[in-house]
């Protein structure tokens, strides 16, 4: 709260400068951050989608080559010579081996010619004999014991990719290295007996995979790599960012993306598995390369904010001065007027709010001068009125002094009843004067109504009985004077006087809900429901009705309305008179007043007290 007060104390020039900067720069910065966040998210999403599309294209190429290899195995298996090679017995095989081998070799050579991705083909029957256009086996080596042969047999005629060759006892004429080819196999099964007749082995050149994958670049240093279902590298570039991908990073997922920190460098990985080839293509690239465009956008954003501040601060300073300088000038005139020089005038011609304020300031000074002259005249009239009032007050003082003399003479003549009435009347006058005060203590107000009731008791004798029950702790509280006497007068003339037999009036006071409650009860004839409603309506309009005194003074309840108007004007809503009555007789009037412990209320300032 204290800091807010300090901000409010700043000159308007600085407030305006701050305002211009806040409404111009802060929204731009917020907009820039929003754009930065949105563009970063969109670019990252687009980068991932583009990479996945590239990977999908690469996988489609893999699947094309693998599907071609599978088709070649079917073509070879359906060849008559190959079927004869698989199905003939040992004697037939020896007699026609040379012719069949020659025909098969020539047939296999056609595939290597038409499909340059094929590095070599090998056909092995279940006896261990083989025919190939590129391969030859070691002497006395049973190829049916080879691991690749057993994998093909275990797969029961289903095409299988076994990856890069390792530890096999065959060699290629071209002498391809193991990391330069990928082997695929398929067992040929007799459709009737379900016995394996032989196995077809094909080596696929990795060069075609390298040509497909190597041409794809992700950013500046990113690349694609391919691993098989055993997480062994099928292909990766010569200088990879990471040698191998741990199996747990991609295990159980067909596609996805993740990031890892490798050698203090954040790497982004995007992968997708080829369902047909059972290979996984992985895109690897530094994460910082995806944010290159973002850094460029951020750079332009910072430059834009800098230029905005470079021109915005002087412009805001100029605009703030154009507003604050006329206000400062007007403040200078006001200080002169505050110092007593009421002849100053604001002379600048402006049609904006400041010009209107200046002209209003000039009118105010003219009115102040007029009011000062009027006040001076009123003060002179007031002094004359006070002198006349001093002369007028001589008569009331003389009256109750004379009443005191009459009381003394009555007691001397032993006329005690006359003395009591005269004493009550004198006290009534004395409290009524109360040195011109508008508030008196509750005790004085009670003494006032006691004097009034005693005079009325002398008139009505046994017909009027009363009781006043106010605790001493409330005697020192201050109330408006003459608020109880009009109500008690109503109770006597409109209640007690009209009933048969003796009547009673009870006055009580208590503190209730932090208010002073004074209750006047009588057992007179009461009011009907319509009269009660009319009285309550009149009390709610007391101020309005008492303004026209000539019309209202002659009506019933004028004194009560006057009391209600005085209380409302002095203390506002929440205080005043509340009336309750019934047809069976009796009226209860409650007066609610504020708790006042000292005489702070003066004439003309009742409500503020």
* Percentage of residues in the chain having pLDDT higher than 90: 8
Residues in the chain: 609
Cα–Cα dist 451/457, whole Å: 10
533: pLDDT strictly greater than 80: yes
Q: What local confidence, expressed as pLDDT, does residue 575 receive?
A: 92
| 528 in any annotated domain | yes
pLDDT at 606 over 80: no
What does the pLDDT read at residue 97? Answer: 59
> What integer is the mean pLDDT of 464-482?
90
Edge-to-edge strand ranges of the sheet holding 576-581: 464-470, 503-512, 515-522, 587-594, 576-581
State the pLDDT confidence band at 10, using cuts at 50, 70 and 90: low
Element holding 441 (H helix, E strand): strand 439-441
In this structure, the answer to whether residues 473 and 556 fall within a common structural domain is yes
Given this model, what pLDDT does residue 385 score?
A: 47
Output the 3-class SS for 475-537. CCCEEECCCCHHHHHHHHHHHHCCCCCCEEEEEEEEEECCEEEEEEEECCCCCCHHHHHHHHH
Query: Which of the pair, 15 or 479, is modelled with greater confidence?
Result: 479
Residues 47-78 have pLDDT tens digits of: 777 777 787 887 887 778 888 888 888 888 88
**427 with 399: CB under 8 angstroms?**
no
Residue 301 pLDDT grade (very low, low, confident, very high; cuts 50, 70, 90): confident
Residue 515, domain member (yes or no): yes
Give the residue-averaged pLDDT of 249-276: 80
Q: Classify residue 96: in a domain, yes or no.
A: yes
One domain for residues 443 and 570: yes
Number of domains forming the structure of the chain: 3
Task: Establish if 192 belongs to a structural domain.
Answer: yes
Over residues 419-436, the pLDDT tens digits come to 667 666 666 666 655 555
Q: Are residues 387 and 449 in the same domain?
A: no
pLDDT higher at 411 or 106: 106
Please tell me the predicted confidence (pLDDT) of residue 417: 67
- Average pLDDT of the chain, as a whole number: 77
- Residue 236 in any domain: the answer is no
Domain boundary among 166, 189, 209: 209
C-alpha–C-alpha distance, residues 380 and 391, integer Å: 17
Residues 588, 447 within the same domain: yes
Residue 311 CB neighbours (<10 A)? 10
In a domain, 286, yes or no: no
Q: Is residue 250 part of a domain?
A: no
Quick one: 441 and 585 in the same domain? yes
The tokens describing 330, both together, are 């007007």
Per-residue pLDDT, 88: 59
> Given pLDDT bands bounded at 50, 70 and 90, which one contains residue 603?
very low
pLDDT at 310 (0 to 100) = 77
What are the pLDDT digits (tens) for 557-571?
A: 678 888 888 888 888
Q: For position 100, which CATH number holds? A: 3.30.450.20
pLDDT at 393 over 70: no
In a domain, 421, yes or no: no
Bridge-based pairing state of the strands 478-480 and 439-441? antiparallel
Provide the whole-model pTM: 0.44
- Give the tens place of pLDDT for each residue, 103-136: 888 888 888 888 888 888 889 888 888 888 888 7
590 and 442 inside one domain: yes
Please check the confidence at residue 500 and state whether its pLDDT lies above 50.
yes
Domain of residue 497: give its range.
437-594
């Amino acid at each position: 709260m204290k800091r807010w007060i300090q901000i409010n104390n700043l000159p308007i020039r600085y407030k305006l400068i701050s305002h211009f900067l806040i409404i111009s720069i802060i929204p731009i910065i917020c907009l820039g951050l929003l754009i930065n966040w949105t563009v970063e998210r969109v670019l990252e999403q687009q980068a991932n989608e583009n990479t996945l599309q590239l990977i999908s294209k690469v996988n489609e190429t893999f699947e094309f080559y693998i599907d071609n290899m599978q088709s070649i195995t079917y073509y070879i298996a359906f060849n008559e010579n190959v079927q004869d090679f698989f199905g003939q017995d040992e004697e037939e095989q020896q007699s026609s081996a040379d012719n069949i081998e020659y025909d098969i070799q020539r047939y296999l050579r056609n595939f290597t010619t038409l499909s340059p991705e094929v590095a070599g083909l090998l056909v092995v029957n279940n006896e261990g004999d083989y025919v190939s256009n590129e391969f030859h086996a070691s002497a006395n080596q049973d190829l049916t014991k080879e691991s690749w042969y057993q994998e093909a047999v275990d797969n029961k005629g289903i095409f299988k990719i076994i990856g890069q060759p390792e530890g096999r006892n065959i060699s290629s004429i071209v002498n391809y290295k193991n990391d330069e080819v990928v082997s695929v196999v398929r067992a040929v099964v007799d459709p009737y007996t379900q016995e394996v007749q032989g196995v077809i082995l094909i080596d696929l050149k990795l060069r075609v995979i390298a040509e497909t994958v190597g041409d794809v670049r992700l950013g500046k240093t990113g690349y694609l790599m391919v691993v098989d279902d055993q997480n062994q590298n099928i292909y990766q570039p010569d200088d990879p960012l990471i040698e191998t991908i741990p199996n747990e990073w991609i295990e159980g997922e067909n596609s996805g993306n993740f990031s890892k920190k490798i050698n203090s460098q954040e790497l982004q990985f995007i992968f997708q598995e080829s369902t047909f080839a059972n290979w996984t293509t992985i895109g690897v690239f530094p994460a910082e390369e995806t944010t290159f465009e973002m850094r460029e956008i951020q750079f332009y954003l910072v430059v834009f904010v800098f230029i905005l501040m470079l021109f915005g601060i002087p412009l805001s300073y100029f605009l703030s001065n154009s507003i604050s300088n006329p206000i400062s000038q007007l403040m200078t005139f006001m200080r002169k007027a505050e110092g007593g020089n009421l002849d100053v005038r604001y002379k600048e011609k402006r049609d904006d709010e400041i010009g209107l304020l200046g002209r209003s300031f000039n009118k105010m000074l003219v009115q102040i001068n007029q009011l000062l002259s009027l006040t001076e005249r009123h003060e002179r009239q007031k002094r004359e009125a006070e002198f006349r009032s001093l002369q007028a007050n001589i008569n009331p003082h003389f009256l109750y002094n004379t009443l005191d003399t009459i009381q003394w003479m009555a007691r001397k003549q032993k006329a005690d009843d006359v003395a009591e009435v005269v004493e009550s009347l004198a006290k009534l006058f004395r409290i009524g004067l109360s040195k011109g005060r508008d508030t008196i203590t509750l005790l004085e107000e009670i003494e006032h109504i006691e004097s009034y009731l005693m005079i009325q008791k002398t008139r009505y004798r046994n017909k009027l009985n009363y009781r006043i029950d106010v605790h001493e702790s409330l005697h020192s509280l201050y109330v408006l004077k003459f608020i109880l006497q009009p109500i008690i007068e109503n109770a006597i003339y409109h209640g007690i006087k009209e009933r048969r037999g003796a009547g009673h009036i009870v006055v009580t006071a208590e503190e209730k809900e932090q208010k002073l409650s004074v209750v006047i009860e009588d057992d007179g004839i009461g009011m009907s429901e319509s009269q009660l409603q009319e009285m309550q309506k009149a009390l709610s309009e007391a101020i309005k009705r008492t303004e026209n005194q000539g019309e209202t003074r002659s009506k019933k309840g004028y004194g009560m309305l006057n009391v209600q108007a005085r209380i409302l004007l002095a203390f506002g809503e929440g205080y005043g008179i509340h009336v309750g009555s019934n047809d069976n007789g009796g009226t209860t009037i409650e007066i609610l007043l504020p708790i006042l412990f000292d005489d702070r209320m003066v004439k003309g300032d009742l409500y503020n007290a």
